[in-house]
Chains A and B, each alone.
Chain A
Amino acid sequence: MRFPGSVALLALVAACATAQGDPRDPFEGFNRGVYKFNETVDAAIAKPVATAYRNLLHEEIRSRVRNFFSNIADLFIGVNNLLQGKLQDGAEDWARFAFNSTFGLLGIHDVASDMGIEKHNEDFGQTLGRWGVADGPYLVLPILGSSTLRDSVGTAADIYTDPVGDFRPIRLRNSAVALRLVNARADLLDASRILEEAALDKYVFQRDAYLQRRRSLIYDGHPPREEQPSDEPPTPEERRSEAPVNVAPAADVNDDLRRVPKPTHP
């Protein structure tokens, strides 16, 4: 991937400023550079556009936009559930798609939820995690934000299979992609302000929340019980002995400071 030279320079400066890194985030200096770049783009373009969008359009309309794209996404949420062996969840996702696309008028009404068929949250990154692929190092992607090496591969697959990418003509596709982005950012306006208030160091707060969140999602909200929080976190040396990316048992999929890793290679 290429980044503008200025971003690379920023990353270099940030790298020098990093005193002692988090073992989950070996590229922290570089990531902070990309993070800063993303913040700049967000403040200059995404946030003002999303704010205008929210002020101009009533929630009623925005929720239809949200539902429309959410419905399209259900197709591959279903695929991911099937790939993870969750047949019933997958069947529910496709039932949602069937009902919402027809009775829900191309998805703008979420009639399936009213019928009690719940929406799921899946993507290829979670599927890889379920298969036992470890997080790998934390990464901040340009524009896309928080990720890990594994989730970046997942995101590439998500984008590749994205049905909206098949919209034609190209102009329609581009408008749809832009609308989806703006709608998503508008939904996050309050949340991003809260993040601003809650965090001492936004970068760290967001990173840790992302890693916790992904771990929870991979296990569908029921990650394996962790060790007592009072346990001493492992030393960096102990943690480095774990290969960052490899096929590991599912229980080792994600790291948390609270967990004391068992040696995988005795």
Chain B
Amino acid sequence: MRTIARALLCLFAAFLLGSAHGQEAMPDALVKNVTLEVVELIAKDKEIRGNRNKLIELIDEKVLPHFNFTGMTALAMGQSWNKANAEQKKRLTEEFKILLVRTYASALAAFSEQKFEFRPLRAKPTDTDVTVNVRVLQPGAQAVPIDYSMEKTAAGWKVYDVMVGGVSLVANYRTEFNNTVRDSGIEGLIKILSAKNRTLEAAGGAQQK
């Protein structure tokens, strides 16, 4: 449980992927630039750390463009994805996105400064599916690896999964999603996700100082 929780703590780094300077940027350079940019922004602006909404804005602007949320939702749904119609897929993706962003924002707010180590990408220039390795160094404990699974699309490199300490975020939702779909259908899952999001929204608003 300890290691899991620590791994979760580092999920925040999933957002540290922000605006690229060009679509041609290699995926490892993209991860590095954006991570450093966002870390610096947070370090400079104390208000961001204390203000959940400002944090979410920052993530929306810098990080979201580099995630393929539809792909992430499809992977997290597994076999249940095809049971959803086009409109349901859209709503599922939207709710899942909100949940992930809130979670990240909360992790980011809690996280103090950490050192990052960027590993050079081991891939051929022709590869269209790569894993970018980043490590978060922490005193008195093993470094936590963060692996971004990225694919090349017409719109540039997009993240479709994040593994923190060997735990795939997308795979980790699969059992929950499939259980819910089995018990209460696709609509049930959308309902549960949006109820969860509304609860977090209310709690987040109350927490703000």
Seen from chain A, the residues whose Cβ lies within 8 Å of a Cβ on chain B are 19-20, 22, 59, 63, 66-67, 70, 110, 113, 118-121, 144-146, 184, 187-188, 190-195, 197-201, 204-206, 208-210, 212-213, 215-217, 221, 223, 229, 232-233, 256-258
Selected contact of B2 from candidates A188, A194, A204, A223, CB within 8 Å? A188
The answer to whether the Cβ of B142 comes within 8 Å of any Cβ in the partner chain is yes
Seen from chain B, the residues whose Cβ lies within 8 Å of a Cβ on chain A are 1-9, 11, 75, 78-79, 99, 102-103, 106-107, 110-112, 139-143, 145, 165-168, 170-176, 179-180, 182-183, 192-193, 196, 200
- A188→B110 CA distance, assembly (Å): 11
Given contacts A216-B166, A216-B167, A229-B75, contact A257 B142 (CB under 8 A): no
Q: What residues on A are CB-neighbors of B111 within 8 Å?
A: 190
Report yes or no: B2 in contact with A209, Cβ–Cβ below 8 A.
no
Given contacts A66-B139, A199-B176, A201-B176, contact A258 B171 (CB under 8 A): yes
Report yes or no: B3 in contact with A233, Cβ–Cβ below 8 A.
no
| A-B pairs with beta carbons under 8 Å apart, 17 shown | A70-B140, A110-B140, A119-B141, A119-B143, A146-B1, A188-B9, A194-B8, A195-B4, A197-B103, A200-B196, A204-B175, A208-B175, A209-B172, A213-B166, A216-B165, A229-B75, A257-B175
Report yes or no: B106 in contact with A257, Cβ–Cβ below 8 A.
no
Q: Besides A187-B6, A209-B8, A217-B166, 4 other CB < 8 A contacts?
A: A119-B140, A145-B1, A194-B11, A213-B4
Report yes or no: B103 in contact with A194, Cβ–Cβ below 8 A.
yes
Q: What residues on A are CB-neighbors of B103 within 8 Å?
A: 194, 197-198
- A200→B140 CA distance, assembly (Å): 32
Q: What residues on B are CB-neighbors of A198 within 8 Å?
A: 8, 11, 99, 103
With both chains docked as a complex, state the minimum distance between the C-beta of B195 and any C-beta of chain A, in angstroms.
10
Given contacts A194-B107, A212-B168, A216-B165, contact A188 B142 (CB under 8 A): no
- A144→B4 CA distance, assembly (Å): 13
User: Which 8 residue pairs are nearest across A and B when measured between Cβ atoms?
Assistant: A216-B166, A191-B5, A145-B1, A190-B110, A191-B9, A66-B140, A121-B142, A198-B103
Q: Which of B7, B167, B170 has the most CB of A within 10 A?
A: B167
- A193→B8 CA distance, assembly (Å): 10
Selected contact of B183 from candidates A19, A113, A184, A191, CB within 8 Å? A19
Selected contact of A200 from candidates B167, B171, B192, CB within 8 Å? B192
- A188→B9 CA distance, assembly (Å): 8
With both chains docked as a complex, state the minimum distance between the C-beta of A25 and any C-beta of chain B, in angstroms.
10
- A213→B106 CA distance, assembly (Å): 22
- A47→B52 CA distance, assembly (Å): 24
Q: What residues on A are CB-neighbors of B139 within 8 Å?
A: 63, 66-67, 110, 113
